[in-house]
């Protein structure tokens, strides 16, 4: 399988892989959903939410506030 072959290369010390030829968005999702769960890939940690503290300022996404105020 693809996952087994990737593990073989990883056992040889290769730690960076580029899985693309002409990447389509749908194919990227397929790789993420079907291949990545079979590999030992560290999952990124989501930053801790600081909560909504004020009606002033700006928000990024739905609950992530910027670390510093944006300059106007």
Per-residue burial over 16-51, b if 16 or more Cβ lie within 10 Å, else e, is eeeeeeeeeeeeeeeeeeeeeeeeeeeeeeeeeeee
For 16-32, how does the pLDDT look when each residue is reduced to its tens digit (9 = 90+)? Answer: 888 776 768 888 888 88
pTM of the model: 0.45
Decide which of 29 and 58 is more confident.
29
| Residue 4: its H or E element | helix 2-11
């Amino acid at each position: 399988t693809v996952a087994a072959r990737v593990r073989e290369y990883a056992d040889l010390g290769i730690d960076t892989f580029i899985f693309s030829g002409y990447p389509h968005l749908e194919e990227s999702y397929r790789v993420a959903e079907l291949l990545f769960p079979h590999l030992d890939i560290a999952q990124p940690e989501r930053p801790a939410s600081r909560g909504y503290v004020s009606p002033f300022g700006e928000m990024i996404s739905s609950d992530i506030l910027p670390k510093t105020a944006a300059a106007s």
